Structure 1
Amino acid sequence: MPTLREIAESNYPAVQALHRSVGWPERSLAGWRWLHANPARLEIGAPAGWIIDGPDGEPAAHVGNLIQRFRLGDRRLHGATGFSIIVTRAARGGSRSMLKTFTRQPVVFARYTFNANSKSQPLYVRHGMQSWPEQTHALKLSWVIDPLPLLAGRVWKRLYDLTPGVVEGLGERLMNDRLGRAVRLDLPEGVEVLTDFSDGSSYAAFWEALVAEGRLLADRSPEAQRWRLQDPDLTQAPLALAVRRGGAIVAYAQAMMAKSNILEPPVLEIIDLEALKDHPDAVPALMRALKSAARTMGAAKLRLQTVTPEAMQRLGEFARTARREGGWGHCHVQFAQDAPDPALWSPTPYDGDYAICLRPIPFNTVRQGARAPRGAAQTASKA
């Protein structure tokens, strides 16, 4: 049986090579070091992940362990989400020991993934994780902005299935001249771009108001937001929007431009969408702003990849008009025995690994005329 060990910072060049060997997007070494220095992980001394070495002594399997802080009123908790699970033939059977170790780690109130792909999702159930939320664990929502690039992406995918080497050699497809430009957004009245995440900002007051409602929340404090914005692999800062009423922020959204692989068009991915309970109508206002921004920024569609029953209610008409994507159980969780009531938790993609696993728009690759690595046409979702 292959031996599992905790990942060390010195292993990241080999982990980077492992990602490259299976055609997955590569983090820079600076990006891996940034993840390794995650303040929430260091607080509880949790591993940054685990690897299994192959016969040649190099990592042949990997799973990342993203630790997040949570708040429940005055209580501070931690949760763990697994990401970038790779198991090569040299470590066949290693997924069992990796998931067993991940789901048995102490201190955290929940071990979960909100980003499982269709092939790997049965593994999580076999390792004691439940499909959750029960009503929406297999649901993703999207809103079409420009249907032509979406159709073209399907054509390119079919061509790839016939001649993968030829298609990969062409490099990035379906880029457009709106990507990465400094644009002026046409936002609905009452919605503004949010840029101030300082400790004394209006956003900080909004965060404290959210915490006071008594829900279980992933840490959205200004400190946590600033750490996320320091990700060295971001090619474009996430878009943050806020709804302000009476001088105070009552709702906010965060979205990231991403391109899953060389053959799919850019998508504006909703990372977070939150509102104070007394202002549920602020969510549709943010959605109108996000749809408008997606068009201006060059996205073919707007997508929300983690959905809960509460989110469906807040989305209102947007939930009824959305396309249903997914169709498999991509959300799985295992709660600790002393975990808070799961009903207090209504996660968004922010709570999962999307902000660190989505493939940013590859501006440098296109500008330098570089070719995509072999296998890069494969969807970049983690296992």
Structure 2
Amino acid sequence: MNRLLASVGWPTRSQAGWAWLGTSPAGREIHAPQGWIVESDFGDVVGFLGNLVLPFDFRGRRLRGATGFSIVVRPEARGAGRRLISAFLNQDGVFTHYTLNANALSAPIYARHRMTPWPEATSGLKLSWIADPVACMSSRLLRAAARLEPQRIVFPERLLTSRLDTPAPLRLPQGVDVVSTFEPNGDYALYWSRLSEEGRLRVDRSPAEISWRFADPDLWRQPLVLGFRRDRGLTSVAIAVLAKGHPLEPAVLEVIDLTALSDEKDGCEILLRALIDNAPRLGAAKTRLPVVSPWLLDRLGETARTARREGGWGHCHARFGAAGPDPELWSPTAWDGDYSVCLRSAPISARSSQAA
């Protein structure tokens, strides 16, 4: 599988990383496979689709949803993609099958399997805020040059900055601080309890689930978690990952989660603004919000209006079971998809040569 992923320039996993994925609590509850492969007559893996089952909380009920990730099919295995997606959609024990991270090539395939854009109004929207336009333009030129060598899949690591090794101290506005502990009885646990009591459909963000995600052995850097507090405690939380999708791309601060209590109107925008302002201090050339729901977009105010629009091909698709909760109660973020297991961490200097 790693050879197949590397053949298209996608991040691979260590043996420990694949084993960790197999310990997904929600997946083990329903004995879900980690994915499906297609083999050639010679036993080579020529097609792969990963299967990540995530726990949902809905009014005290524990539900499960399945998100597909890293679908890759070699040219000689034409038609295998349809079979892989059919296998994914035929699995039982989940109320929804979805992807929040389809690329422009795979997006049309999902529509043929009766997966519809979701959320409908924002399924093709990504927002970004550029901090270093020179690095972003240099990346475009490097990748354009790389397309002249289509047979080459290994490139030296470019666009590294000293901040990736030695970040500057964060400068956070009043009311914002780093959330670094997730004890079962701590303030974050209280925030999750209040969030889940609101009765919306949410992917599990409990301390136990966060601890499992952050234990991924292939995370070279721990995610940055910021919280916005009022007198009564946490009212909004953001999770961001410093990623570098390809050796020829600059580092990007990917905002993979942004939530708030229903009566907190400003927290999401305050936290996002703090991440945007601190991105250069961490070595990121831009900040990106890769999954946007109408609920979240409404709370980002002027900060959303200053963003660059990315995407456009429809990267979010879902198919819901008839017996599940009302999909309108779900406002997904990148946390709800495969981003936390598929993003390539920005390398640390000691690992740069290995990552290349």
What is the TM-score normalised by the length of structure 1?
A: 0.90
Indicate the residue corresponding to 1:314 in structure 2: 299
> How does 1:223-242 map onto structure 2 within 5 Å?
223-242=208-227
Residues in 2 aligned to 1:159 and 1:362: alpha-carbon distance in whole angstroms? 22
Give the alignment partner of residue 140 of structure 1, picking from 116, 119, 126. Answer: 126
Separation in structure 2 between the aligned mates of residue 371 and residue 353 of structure 1, nearest angstrom:
21
Shift of 1:370: 4.9
* Deviation, structure 1 residue 166: 8.2
Distance 1:250 1:117, change over 3 A: same
Report what 2:286 is aligned to.
301
The letter of the residue matching 1:92 is R
Equivalent in 24, 33, 38 of residue 52 of structure 1: 38
Decide which of 115, 123, 126 is 2:112's aligned counterpart: 126
Cross-structure match for 1:175: 160
Relative distance call for 1:168 and 1:62 in structure 2 (3 A) is closer
- The aligned residue for residue 80 of structure 1 is 66
Q: Which amino acid aligns with 2:247?
A: I
1:215 deviates by 0.5
Cα distance in 2, alignment partners of residues 371 and 337 from structure 1:
44
Q: CA deviation at 1:371?
A: 7.7
Q: How many pairs are equivalent?
A: 356
Give the match for residue 140 of structure 2: 154
Kept in 1: contact 2:7–2:153 (CA 8 A): no
SS of 2:163's equivalent in the other structure is coil
Runs of 4+ in 1 over 6 A off after TM superposition: none
Distance 2:153 2:71 in 1: 26
Q: Are residue 33 (structure 1) and residue 19 (structure 2) matched?
A: yes
2:77 paired residue among 91, 112, 117: 91
Residues 243-282 of structure 1, C-alpha deviations (whole Å, 9 max, x = no match)? 1111411110000000111111100000100000111111
Summarize deviations over 1:75-122 as a string: whole Å, max 9, x none.
110000000111113432111111111112111111000100101111
Distance 1:365 1:156, change over 3 A: farther
Match of 1:353?
338
**Shift in Å at residue 155 of structure 1?**
1.3
- Alpha-carbon separation, structure 1, partners of 2:286 and 2:333: 18
CA contact (8 A) 2:52 2:338 kept: yes
Q: Does 1:43 align with 2:29?
A: yes
* 157-166 or 73-82, larger mean C-alpha shift: 157-166
Report what 1:376 is aligned to: none
- What is the rounded CA distance, in whole Å, between the counterparts of 1:22 and 1:138 in structure 2? 23
For 2:192 and 2:165, how far apart are their aligned partners in 1?
A: 29
Which residue identity is paired with 2:133? P
Does the 8 Å CA contact 2:5/2:11 hold for their aligned counterparts?
Answer: yes
Shift of 1:330: 0.6
Structure 2 letter corresponding to 1:355: S
Is 2:2–2:12's contact at 8 Å kept on the other side of the alignment?
yes
Where 1:61 maps in the other structure, the secondary structure is strand
Q: CA offsets per residue over residues 306-345 of structure 1, 9 Å max, x none?
A: 1111111011111111110001011000001111111100
Report the counterpart of residue 110 of structure 1 in structure 2.
96
Aligned to 1:264: 249
How far apart are the structure 1 equivalents of 2:71 and 2:152? Answer: 28
Query: Could you tell me which amino acid in structure 1 is paired with residue 71 of structure 2?
Result: I
1:65 aligns with 2:48: no
Tell me the distance in 1 between the aligned counterparts of 2:151 and 2:45. Answer: 26
Query: What is aligned with 1:285?
Result: 270
Decide whether the 8 Å contact of 1:159 with 1:167 is kept in 2: no
SS of 1:178 mapped into structure 2: helix
Q: 1:341 aligns with which of 326, 331, 341?
A: 326
Change (3 A) 1:62 1:164: closer
Structure 1 residues 166-209: Cα deviation after superposition (integer angstroms, max 9, x where no partner): 8955x011010000325421000000000011101100000000
CA distance in 2, matches of 1:133, 1:172: 36
2:201 maps to which residue? 216
Structure 1, unpaired ranges of 5+: 1-14, 373-383
Give 1:207's aligned amino acid: W
Q: Runs of 5+ in structure 2 lacking a partner?
A: none
RMSD: 1.6
- Which of 237, 245, 248 is equivalent to 2:233? 248
1:182 and 1:229 mapped to 2: Cα distance?
20
> How much does 1:363 deviate?
2.3
